[in-house]
Amino acid sequence: MTLLHRPVTPGNKRVKRMCIKLIFILLGRAFQSASRKDPAIRNEILSWEEGFSIAMTVLPRGPFLHLEKKQDRLVFKWFSSEKQDLEICFRNVESAFMVLTPQMGAAQAFAEKRIRVRGDLGLCMSFTRALNELLAVLYPRFVVKRLVKRVPVLDGKKIGLRIWLYTLGIVTGL
């Protein structure tokens, strides 16, 4: 018996994985820089214990984002094999791609069970507030309105932080 078509095998979505990996790198560097400059993000981080670690992962094989609190700042870690205090897992590449390329907010993704959290939910909410502050600085207002429930006010300091992040913060991680 001859086949009229070849069997379809699922792809591994290389382009989406590369985009997610790049976004994780940019978010990690932005968190590292903003945790030193932005008082709202710094206030959220102060409530965490020293050495607190966060991982955002895409199941089943990654990519990963690892952050750790050191000296009242977040440090972006390229690789981390130790157990994380808070792990936020995206169920698949599609879910991560929709959340990280602002097509869907984190609250909606959590409600649709696209995200799984392992660890303290109170600390996860604190991390989400810090993430919302960072997204308000990184993205324009019309994008942020779709992602967060309450859009933080951008004053002169936040606009200065936005310029800092775009020019030096993300590039150097300072």
pLDDT of residue 1: 57
Confidence class for position 118, pLDDT limits 50, 70, 90: very high
pLDDT for 89 equals 92
Q: Which overall architecture, per CATH, does domain 14-169 show?
A: 2-Layer Sandwich (3.30)
Confidence of residue 59 (pLDDT cuts 50, 70, 90): confident
Residue spans of the domains in the chain: they are 14-169
Q: What is the pLDDT of residues 18-37, one digit of tens each?
A: 999 998 998 998 898 888 88
Average pLDDT, the chain: 85
> At CA 169, angle to CA 66 and CA 173, rounded to 5?
40
Give pLDDT, residue 66: 92
Model confidence at 116: pLDDT above 90: yes
Cβ neighbours of residue 90 closer than 8 Å, sequence gap 6 or more: 56, 57, 58, 59, 96, 99, 109, 114, 115
Rounded mean pLDDT of 130-158? Answer: 83
The pLDDT of residue 81 is 64
